[in-house]
Amino acid sequence: MKEVDVSIIKEIGIVGAGVMGPSIAELFAIFGASYDFSIVVYDISPTQLEKAKSRIDIDFTKVSSTGLFSSSDLEIARNRIQLETDINSFADSHLIIEAVPEKLDLKLKVFKELDKLTSPTTILATNSSGLSVTKIATVTNRPTLCIGTHFMNPPLLMPLVEVVKGHQTSDQTVQTIMELLSNVNKRPVLVKKDIPGYVHNRLQAALFREVMHLLDEDVINVSDLETTVRYGLGLRLPIMKVFEMVDFMGLDTIQNVLTYLYPALNRSILPPDFLREMIEAGNLGVKSGKGFHDYSRQDILASMKQKEAATFQLLMMMQQYD
């Protein structure tokens, strides 16, 4: 079977118009101007599509306010995105990115449907946060064309995308997707082995495990823990790479430290009991108004907007240290 190289990809389908799908569509519409992409976003829920439409309008206004694009370019980009409730709108897609909820059964169902519906050369990508790409590909007749594209939230702003190679994903599919993502200004990384959580979420989970353990052991309180992460490690990371940090510390010093520290680190295989107790008490985080911090008096939307603007500025600054 002839495989698709990056120059062929013009029609891009996205399944799921929730948090991730619309922003992935915006990315290809805005940064793909010279590639003439057309993007179809499909969702089973018309309500979700309505919400997606308003969200895309808001995001385009935000992008316009950066002054990086002319209003005529943005208007053309906006018109590249079509919202659809009919899955048959995907029939001509060269690439489809699935962004439905993180439930394996649902992803299997969607991939099976897409496999039947699309040309046998269409690449099928999953935006899963950590499910097995290999497993998802088993329900299709094209495992060589199935791949993971794990975007960070929000995809339009966050540069990192983990490109996850399933056991049978072909090298050509990997190359096509890596090139495509580079062409739209992303920083794709190749995850060569399809392991749970891929790479980014494993690193995040390692940090979460240790901070929750330190709280559980009453070593430090939440406020001081936040200060430790933000003004220690957190301040270094935008400017120094991890292995650069190791090089500056000295590999011999690091070896000495890790030799006594590794055995002392938390190795539990379950989240701590206090997390379950917080959940049972209704403290779910931002969505319930309280988690480790209190959000009941915060304007969450305004705060998100401010954080996105700050992330954009930080990103501009970080690029000097690449």
Ligand X SMILES: NC(=O)c1ccc[n+]([C@@H]2O[C@H](COP(=O)([O-])OP(=O)(O)OC[C@H]3O[C@@H](n4cnc5c(N)ncnc54)[C@H](O)[C@@H]3O)[C@@H](O)[C@H]2O)c1
Q: Does 127 bind ligand X (CB under 6 A)?
A: yes
Q: Does 153 bind ligand X (CB under 6 A)?
A: yes
Of the candidate residues 8, 18, 84, 92, the single one contacting ligand X (CB under 6 A): 18
Which residue, 117 or 220, is less far from ligand X as judged by CB?
117
Which residue, 11 or 43, is less far from ligand X as judged by CB?
43
CA distance 14 to 132: 19
Q: Does 101 bind ligand X (CB under 6 A)?
A: yes
Segment interacting with ligand X, rule: CB under 6 A, options 95-103, 202-210, 257-265, 304-312: 95-103
CA torsion, ordered 293, 295, 297, 298, to nearest 10 deg? 120
Contact 114, 124 (CB under 8 A): yes
Q: Does 19 bind ligand X (CB under 6 A)?
A: yes
Beta carbon of residue 70, minimum distance to ligand X (angstroms, whole number): 30
Contact 48, 98 (CB under 8 A): no
Question: Which amino acid does the sequence have at 113?
Answer: E
Q: Does 16 bind ligand X (CB under 6 A)?
A: yes
Which residue number has the CB closest to ligand X?
18
Q: Does 20 bind ligand X (CB under 6 A)?
A: yes
- Burial readout 301-312 (b: 16 or more C-beta within 10 A, e: otherwise): eeeeeeeeeeee
Beta carbon of residue 56, minimum distance to ligand X (angstroms, whole number): 13
Segment interacting with ligand X, rule: CB under 6 A, options 15-23, 134-142, 210-218, 310-318: 15-23
**In the chain, which residue ranges form alpha helices assigned H by DSSP?**
21-31, 46-65, 71-79, 104-117, 133-137, 171-183, 200-216, 222-228, 235-236, 242-249, 251-261, 273-280, 300-318
Tokens, residue 306: 């401010």
Beta carbon of residue 299, minimum distance to ligand X (angstroms, whole number): 20
Q: Does 99 bind ligand X (CB under 6 A)?
A: yes
Beta carbon of residue 42, minimum distance to ligand X (angstroms, whole number): 6
| Rg, C-alpha atoms of the chain | 21
CA distance 236 to 320: 14
Q: Does 149 bind ligand X (CB under 6 A)?
A: no
Q: Does 197 bind ligand X (CB under 6 A)?
A: no
